[in-house]
Structure 1
């Protein structure tokens, strides 16, 4: 099992900020997804809302939450998270245990 680490800075002139664990993992996915965003359905994770909350509060990132409906055996709604803050990835690494 490895732990994800990510150092970013908010553009245009933000200071470097390092995060680790699931919030770093979620931010990597949000950056890669771009304007399409991520959902707990397409990118399963046990606590997406918690990761987004941490990224918003600790890193000051702007992340939109869009509500969507879904069908299937258990129809309902889910969130789509879209990173709106422009960021630059300074370093990404994994600590393998």
Structure 2
């Protein structure tokens, strides 16, 4: 009986880890926002252990990275606008019909 409980618990942990990993890969901005909200909530806790956990969970900001503060837009922190496409390198896609036989 205890083996079955251990097996179900192990499968549940593996499934939870897999879902979390997939969510981080598919929805990085939303996961970062949820992580920041959870960290902010934990850092306001009266318990020291929860405040420390909240400080560790806080997402790292790229304050000194290339593109931060100017309009180059690295888009890693979500506060910059995306970089504009380079002008002059745009070529329209032209479709040519096949000649009839």
Q: Would you tell me which structure has more strand in proportion to its own residues?
A: 1
Length-normalised TM-score, structure 1: 0.25
**Greater relative CO, 1 or 2 (CA 8 Å, sep 6+):** 1
> Which is greater in Rg?
2
Length-normalised TM-score, structure 2: 0.24
